[in-house]
Amino acid sequence: MAIRRGLNCQARFSLRLVLMKKSTLLLVIFLILLPGCVAKPLDAPHEDVQSCATGVARQPQAGNRRIKPTDLKVGLDYSTPVISNAQKFIIPVPALGQSGEPLVYPHEYEKAGQPILDYTGKPVGDRGLVFFNAKDKSWQAVKGDGEGVIIINEVTQAQAQKLYQKIQDLKPDPNQLTLGELKQVIAFAQNQLGLADMYNSSRTFVQEKMTPAIAGAAPRWHGNEIVAYGFKKRDDRDVNQAIYIPGEFVFEGPAASPQEFKDGGVIVEQQGKMRGVQPDIFVRTYKLSDGRAITSVTTDLKTQCN
């Protein structure tokens, strides 16, 4: 009986030893596999677009993230079709020739004195006009070759009338404005009317993509319509693609210096070119392509986490 009881104890001890070895082995395997479960490989792609599109995107690390157009994708799974309903005021920039200022970064900027580059990395031009977009805290440059314009965003009809009057007081024909007079108009818009959001574009873009904000109210000079000038809006048929990027970042787009976004930003793609828009401005000046209002950039737009 004692021998049998001893054998039973020995068997139970052996069984416990086996189970302990198996548990230890499983623990070792678990510890080996654990890093692969909790960490992404170094060559893994950025956050899945679909998970970002749900509005439950991870919070990116704060800091000076730099995002370029080549970092982003557009299309059915990556961006949201939208149309602009903003009212804008267009100021044509005449052919300034040698009277234009050198298109170099101003002394306030870290690249002071260097040629201003476009989004492709090429110099914008030789001479023209340099101005500041206070909303994005970015420098802008427009060539003085007679083809460029300055677009002032979010302009009311009352503000447009004051801009018309300011320009009329300087030159009845805006295509005759000098560099100094253009700077006076910009300062008037910024300081007197509180219009901080302005950027450069081309007369071709205005003629192809914009219509008068008030039907039949296109400005004229000597009986002829002044093209690419005045109070306008985007054509409702012109569909753009919008991408929301959460967190703090700077966007290296078409502006002379990167646009700054402190708490998320919207990148709008139109005909292959991308421009950043502050979220509050975007909600006010864009709508979904089916005409519905945009209530929130985090829920109504596809998100990309870069």
Structure tokens at 37: 């479960």
Strand partners, 91: 150
The per-residue pLDDT for range 141-174, each reduced to its tens digit, is: 999 999 999 999 999 999 999 999 999 999 999 9
DSSP H/E element including 35: helix 2-38
Q: What is the pLDDT of residue 16?
A: 52
Say how many C-beta atoms besides its own lie within 10 A of residue 60's C-beta: 17
Q: Where are the domains of the chain?
A: 49-84+237-300, 87-234
CA 255 to CA 266: how far, in whole Å? 15
Structure tokens at 74: 């557009």
The per-residue pLDDT for range 89-118, each reduced to its tens digit, is: 999 999 999 999 999 999 888 888 999 887
Q: What is the pLDDT of residue 9?
A: 45
Q: Which of 111-120, 201-210, 292-301 has the lowest mean pLDDT?
A: 111-120
The per-residue pLDDT for range 265-275, each reduced to its tens digit, is: 999 998 788 99
CA 127 to CA 124: how far, in whole Å? 9
The per-residue pLDDT for range 170-183, each reduced to its tens digit, is: 999 999 999 999 99
Residue 81, C-beta contacts closer than 8 angstroms, at least 6 positions apart? 239, 240, 241, 242, 288, 289
Whether pTM > 0.75 for this model: the answer is no
Phi then psi for residue 43, to 5 deg, are -100, 15
Structure tokens at 134: 């206070």
Q: What is the pLDDT of residue 24?
A: 53
> What is the rounded average pLDDT for all residues in the chain?
82
